[in-house]
Amino acid sequence: MTDVTTSAAVSARHDWASNAAKRRVKSRYAKDRRLQMYGIAAIGFAMILLGILITSLFYAGYVAFSTTKVELGVYLDSKQIDPKTPEKANYRKIVRNAFLGYFPNVKGRKEQRNLLKIISSGAPFILRDYVVDNPDQIGKLVKVQVPVSDPFDQLYKGVIPRQIDALSFDRIDTFEGLRQQGVLSAPDGRTVVKMTVFLDPERVSAGQFSAIANEAFKAFFPQARNTAFVEILGGDAAKRLQAFVEANPDMVGKTAEVSLPISTNYDNLFRTGEAKVRNPRFASDNVFVWFDALVTQDLVSTPFTWELFFNADSRFPELAGLAGAISGSALALLVCFLISFPVGIAGAIYLEEFAPKNRYTDIIEVNINNLAAVPSVVFGLLGLAVFLNVFGLPRSAPIVGGMVLSLMTLPTIIVATRAALKAVPPSIREAALGVGASKHQMVLHHVLPLALPGILTGTIIGLAQALGETAPLLLIGMNAFIPSVENIGIMQPATALPTQIFAWADSPERGFVSRTSAAILVLLGFLAIMNAIAIFLRQRFERKW
Amino acid sequence: MNDATGSVNAGIPLSAEEMSKIAPGLAHDIKIKSSDVEVHYGDKQALFDVNLDIPANQVIALIGPSGCGKSTYMRCLNRMNDTIDIARVTGTIEIDGVDIYQKKIDVVELRARVGMVFQKPNPFPKSIFENVAYGPKIHGLAASKSDMEEIVVESLTKAGLFDEVKDRLEAPGTGLSGGQQQRLCIARAIATKPEVILMDEPCSALDPIATAKIEELIDELKQNYTIVIVTHSMQQAARVSQMTAFFHLGYLVEVGETDQIFTNPQDKRTQDYITGRFG
Amino acid sequence: MFGYVLITLIALSLAGFVLGRQRALAAVSGTAANLHSLPNYHGYFIAAWVGVPALVLVLVWLLFQGSVIDVLLMRSLPADKIAGLSQSELALLISEVKSVAGGAIFGTPAAHVVEAAERYNAWQSIARWAMAAAAIALALVAMLIARARIAKDFRARQGVEHVMDGLMIFCSAIAILTTLGIVTSLAIEAYRFFQLVSPLQFFFGLNWEPQIAIRADQVTAGGAFGAIPVYVGTLLIAFIAMAVATPIGLLSAIYLTEYASPKVRAVVKPLLEILAGIPTVVYGFFAVLVVAPAMRNFGQAIGFDIAPNSALAAGGVMGIMLIPFISSLSDDAIAAVPQSLRDGSYGLGATKSETIISVLLPAALPGIMGGILLAVSRAIGETMIVVMAAGIIASLTLNPFEPVTTVTVQIVTLLIGDTEFDNPKTLAAFALGLVLFLVTLCLNVIALRIVQKYREQYD
């Protein structure tokens, strides 16, 4: 190291005051801010999605927490209801007559049928249950709240409209193209399209006037890929054309200019700017009048949906509840807990405290780590092939569900237990061994009690994960349709909360959208409670050594 | 005085009287001037009212028992405390007369000019070449590839490492021995062409032979750089430094020429520490 | 019956406990200090001997009783009634017999069914009583044997601890048993599948139409079980998911570890964990309820046709699910980079982004890669989101706006509802399951090894 090189280095010291250096530093800071912005954007994106997810569930789900009900005044005629066997009466007829009694002017089978569609098909059962519970009411006039059927429930809550757009975007687009050609006019309250037709003698004699009209109409849509646009022409266009030919027989074989009417929806669209039709969920326009009458008479109310928690599943969304799913999940979790908790703790104690470090324990550890990452659907396959086929356990039963879930929960509990055991300081162990305790006594009497809060925390988190598992339960059939909660048991067919959500999400009725969201909110509520308990345990009992 | 850097940015001129008060017998410029420096970590105060002037082109050793604030003080000099969320620094520290805690001061530039070597060698998990080239690259000090090579070779040479690694510049820096790694870190610091080098117990993780090499290196480097070294070892302080500052419980107790501090300490605490009563 | 047997066994165990205590005390004429082990340990010793073997017997008995009786029942059916029945028809007959035996009678069952049902009930009760008798006999014999060993110098504590060791080893071995169970059951069913359909076709065929194959004359109809489109669909959706999750997860991890103040971290991290704790069925519903319609509307607005069950919707929502997963694993990896490297970089005057990009990320790369591989394995194995949001028809396309199907979707659709184990349609699900298990296993093993190596490096 000579003085020459050092002085050269010194003289080459960077000129931080130069403009180039300042620019460079500036751009480096800009880069730094950019990375920070990307980070904030990423987190913001994730948070926004979380927000959208939760709000959309609340938005779609909150309506399911109230049910639109109509008050039904029923005279419980003892002639119709035998007080000895109240459950055997024809409640369908009683409900029918009671409800039709509100609308004495509605006659005719079809009208009455439409009217009866306002109340839920479950109404007779509700009345039956009421009478069976209150047999002393027989012979009296009672007021019973029965749910309205799904479309009216949704209508009253404002989820679905009375009228919907009759035409889709692309239909309107197509029509817009026609309008821009300036051939449309509405001279006498009905929109007509002015077009040139060739009155082919052959077709005229065969009476194929609609073919002639359609042929000519096609000319307006040279780029159309299909012939859906013919629906724009009114159904009476052919008749109008025929009338024109009959009035002007000399035009046959020539081209003529005619004005043909267009169909109702497009007519409305042209004249009023919008085309609406009655929501097809409703049978006729009259039902709105009837329903409005019920509303104005103050017979309609929206009490809290206790049915969501106390009813079992139903094909009618306004009656469907989660009682079956909640009890099924509870039973499966109970089985899962009874298996995975003792087994997990025993296994973890062995691995952490007793196991020699050898091939066998290495294999077990690798196995546990891998099991935690095996796709849940594979556990379902295992349950199906082993528990159902080899052991012949009943399909759809909570015991099988619980067993499969316990295999999935086991790694979580083992890992948590080992961590909790590890956290107990050696001083405690030494103290126990020092007074002559055996290793088993040391673990059972001293280490395990101190590790228990951590173990419980891990167990609850594992059970919360198990509560949300769906795929393995689907494979072992724990998505049974359970319409009553009378026959619940660990060997009985059952359903679970997540599989119920899956089943409802697949149902076509509009009301199940809100029911599904509500069920998800209930599930998330349970998960939140379990996690809150876990956090509480962790903060309250876990000590730092 | 014959140093080129001293005139690049003329500091506040010190009177001879002041100078003699701080470091009697030393005729060097003041490179770093700290006044009333205090550091808080959250609610805890780690440094109390430190006033210390550090002369250019000398080695100053900061000594004291663990937790006395010497590292904390040193980390103020290149604002490494900024990287700790809860740290708060008050008072002023001037380098060449410029307050480094003013708003417009850029830590990036500051840290390039005030290099740092850490307690444990911390080479990046990259090649030896990339380790040294990292600083010049981010600061844009090399205009071309050959410039960069020149800087790397020069820095490694100055750090006394070049001959040992010249055949394996592409090998990972983490593969070197501890002493070599620490010299690599010194080369890395030199590569950004600093004026001051801070060394935080640079030899505490090294064996005696490696330590001796580093100490030799420090001695050579002081020709061109102002060096602040934190050390636990009294002998090391005595060997490498011209000035010594003794810290205790967050206070700067005593500062002076190394010979004076070790032979004739003014403060009882310093005396106790040096004679081994506590520490 | 099981309940009664269980209660009896518990009572016997308690009796054994009392017996052991008394006998131990009697052996030293009441001076407990003369015993090698505490009297309670003698009690535990007998209780364990009484309870454990009998309980194991009961559980094994229960596990196999159903299958054994089924086989017996099958054999006992008159030969002329079961001749020519396929396996599924036979299964139907058996379940009819069982429902008749359970008292649920629809219409008038055939005479041989009623007979079989009576036999079934008789066997059931025989089996139950035999189980009870065997279990109690075993418990009593064990009690006698154990009681004979109680003596002054008998090391009862060691005996009990040996039993505990055995139980604990068994519990820890359940992980292995589970893996073995998965591998064997999948392998056996997949083997049966490959006897019906050639592996060549399954692994390289381009046509997947398992539903057609229900008809007997089309069991191995040409090209029906070519799983390539299913694999391609799986990879497409996994790719989309990773394309969403990796940048977002990684960037948020970078922000949280290096930029965010502790306060922000304390708020954002739990929020991200909420995202991780939401069950996948909820994500599936979210995809159907919000994401797919939104994408469709967006597509319509710009004049572009996006299928309602497009790969993009399913993959995108799966990506949301994976964000917290990647974020937390990357977070761990970046946080594990030693502070000294950060200091080294900052000490040279590097900005945060320079430190992150040129020092922290390269140093954390193995950990991040491991996390990404684990996430890929999750994406491939994820079921509910794709079952609800992706397609069922296997079409060979890489267009993200078209519907595709995945391995897990096929497994669920093939197995949901009635399952018959002589049908290639059902068995195909197990073959797919085997492929899924092996692929995810490989990914997991590699990923876990990388992560572990990485942790060791900086420990």
Give per-residue pLDDT as tens, C264-297: 999 999 899 889 889 999 999 999 999 999 998 8
**Interface mutation target, options A4, A5, A6, A22, chain B, most CBs of B under 10 Å:** A6
Q: Give the one of A342, A381, A389 whose C-beta lies nearest to C186's C-beta.
A: A381
Do residue B4 and residue A24 have CB atoms under 8 angstroms apart? no
Check pLDDT > 70 for residue B215. Answer: yes
Do residue A520 and residue C256 have CB atoms under 8 angstroms apart? no
Compute the count of residue pairs across chains A and B with CB atoms less than 8 Å apart.
43
Closest CA to C17 of C137, C146, C133: C146
Least confident span in A269-278, B212-221, C9-18, C235-244: A269-278
Q: CA B6, CA B223: separation in Å to the nearest integer?
A: 12
- H or E element in which residue B44 lies: strand B44-55
Q: CA C82, CA A204: separation in Å to the nearest integer?
A: 68
Give me the pLDDT at residue A108, please: 85
**Distant-in-sequence, close-in-space partners of A225: CB < 8 Å, separation ≥ 6:** none
Mean pLDDT of the residues in chain C: 86
Q: Which residues of B have a CB under 8 Å from any CB of A? A: 3-5, 8, 106, 108-109, 112-113, 138-141, 154, 157-158, 160, 192-193, 195, 220, 223-224
The pLDDT confidence band at residue B25, using thresholds 50, 70 and 90, is: very low
The pLDDT confidence band at residue C443, using thresholds 50, 70 and 90, is: very high
Could you give the percent of chain C with pLDDT greater than 70?
93
The pLDDT confidence band at residue B18, using thresholds 50, 70 and 90, is: low
Give me the pLDDT at residue A3, please: 39
**A467 touches C: beta carbon within 8 Å:** yes
The pLDDT confidence band at residue C240, using thresholds 50, 70 and 90, is: very high
Q: Give the one of B115, B120, B123 whose C-beta lies nearest to C348's C-beta.
A: B115
Helices and strands in chain A: count of H runs, count of E runs:
23, 8
Least confident span in A37-41, A286-290, C184-188: A286-290
Check if the beta carbon of residue A323 is closer than 8 Å to that of residue A485. yes
The pLDDT confidence band at residue A237, using thresholds 50, 70 and 90, is: confident
Question: What is the average per-residue pLDDT within B243-251?
Answer: 91
Check if the beta carbon of residue A398 is closer than 8 Å to that of residue A425. no
Closest chain B C-alpha to C272 CA, distance in angstroms:
23
Give me the pLDDT at residue C244, please: 95
Closest CA to B226 of B69, B114, B128: B114
Give SS3 for A182. coil
Give me the pLDDT at residue A490, please: 84
- Going by the DSSP 8-state scheme, the letter that residue A241 receives in this structure is H
Residue of B nearest to C458 (CA): B125
Domain ranges of chain B: 8-274
B8-274: which CATH topology? Rossmann fold (3.40.50)
**C310 touches B: beta carbon within 8 Å:** no
pTM exceeds 0.80, yes or no? yes
Domain ranges of chain A: 19-64, 69-161+297-304, 169-278, 323-541
Residue type, C266: A
Q: Give the one of B115, B120, B139 whose C-beta lies nearest to C347's C-beta.
A: B115
**Distant-in-sequence, close-in-space partners of A272: CB < 8 Å, separation ≥ 6:** none
Write out pLDDT tens, residues B29-39. Answer: 888 999 999 99
Closest CA to C279 of A377, A61, A497: A497
Taking 3-state DSSP, the helix, strand and coil percentages for chain B, each rounded to the nearest 5, stand at: 40, 25, 35
Question: What is the average per-residue pLDDT within C48-62?
Answer: 87
Q: What is the DSSP string of B85-129?
A: TTEEEEEEEEETTEETTSTT--HHHHHHHEEEE-SS----SSBHH
Residue of B nearest to C357 (CA): B138
Name the H helices within C288-338.
292-301, 311-335
Least confident span in A215-219, B14-18, C158-162, C438-442: B14-18
Give me the pLDDT at residue C88, please: 66
B158 vs A contacts (CB less than 8 Å): 1, 5-6, 9
Domains of chain C and any CATH numbers: 2-164 (no CATH), 224-454 (1.10.3720.10)
Check pLDDT > 90 for residue B23. Answer: no
Give me the pLDDT at residue C223, please: 46
Token pair of A289 as six digits: 């009048």
Do residue C161 and residue A440 have CB atoms under 8 angstroms apart? yes
Compute the count of residue pairs across chains A and C with CB atoms less than 8 Å apart.
269
Check if the beta carbon of residue C356 is closer than 8 Å to that of residue C366. no
Check pLDDT > 80 for residue A324. Answer: yes
Give me the pLDDT at residue C421, please: 65
Give me the pLDDT at residue B1, please: 39
**Distant-in-sequence, close-in-space partners of B97: CB < 8 Å, separation ≥ 6:** B9, B10, B11, B12, B33
Closest CA to B189 of B117, B108, B83, B107: B117
Give me the pLDDT at residue A220, please: 82
Do residue B80 and residue C343 have CB atoms under 8 angstroms apart? yes
Pairing of strands B226-230, B196-200: parallel
Longest dimension (CA), chain B: 56
Pairing of strands B87-95, B30-41: antiparallel
Q: Which residue has the higher pLDDT, C426 or A340?
A: A340
- Going by the DSSP 8-state scheme, the letter that residue C362 receives in this structure is H
Check pLDDT > 60 for residue B8. Answer: no
Residue type, C127: A
Task: Annotate A479-528 with three-state secondary structure.
Answer: ECCCCCCCCCCCCCCCECHHHHHHHHHCCCCCHHHHHHHHHHHHHHHHHH
Q: CA A131, CA A75: separation in Å to the nearest integer?
A: 11
Give me the pLDDT at residue C35, please: 80
Give me the pLDDT at residue A9, please: 43
The pLDDT confidence band at residue C71, using thresholds 50, 70 and 90, is: confident
**Distant-in-sequence, close-in-space partners of B95: CB < 8 Å, separation ≥ 6:** B31, B32, B33, B77, B110, B113, B114, B195, B196
Q: In Å, what is the CA distance from B105 to each residue of B94, B102, B109, B110?
A: 11, 6, 8, 7
C338 vs B contacts (CB less than 8 Å): 122
Instruction: Say what the ipTM of the complex is.
Output: 0.87
Write out pLDDT tens, residues A393-433. Answer: 888 899 999 999 999 999 999 999 999 999 888 888 888 88
Check pLDDT > 50 for residue A8. Answer: no
Could you give the percent of chain B with pLDDT greater than 90?
32
Give me the pLDDT at residue A280, please: 81
C172 vs A contacts (CB less than 8 Å): 346-348, 350-351, 355, 361, 364
Give SS3 for C268. helix
Do residue B138 and residue C344 have CB atoms under 8 angstroms apart? no
- The CATH number given to A323-541 is 1.10.3720.10
Check if the beta carbon of residue B52 is closer than 8 Å to that of residue B255. yes
Contact residues, B window 48-67, toward C, CB-based 8 Å cutoff:
none
Residue for token pair 């059962």: A125
Q: Give the one of B157, B193, B220 whose C-beta lies nearest to A12's C-beta.
A: B193
Check pLDDT > 90 for residue A346. Answer: yes
Burial letters C337-367, b for 16+ CB under 10 A, else e: beebbbbbbbbbbbbbbbbbbbbbbebbebb
C333 vs B contacts (CB less than 8 Å): none
Do residue B138 and residue C351 have CB atoms under 8 angstroms apart? yes
Check pLDDT > 60 for residue C216. Answer: no
Q: CA A534, CA C148: separation in Å to the nearest integer?
A: 47
Residue of C nearest to B190 (CA): C348
A50 vs C contacts (CB less than 8 Å): 271, 274-275
Q: Which residue has the higher pLDDT, C99 or C266?
A: C266
Question: Which strands form A69-75's sheet, in the order they lie side by side?
Answer: A141-147, A69-75, A300-301
Give me the pLDDT at residue C222, please: 44
C345 vs B contacts (CB less than 8 Å): 124, 134
The pLDDT confidence band at residue C422, using thresholds 50, 70 and 90, is: low
Q: CA C409, CA A385: separation in Å to the nearest integer?
A: 18
Write out pLDDT tens, residues C380-391. Answer: 999 999 999 988
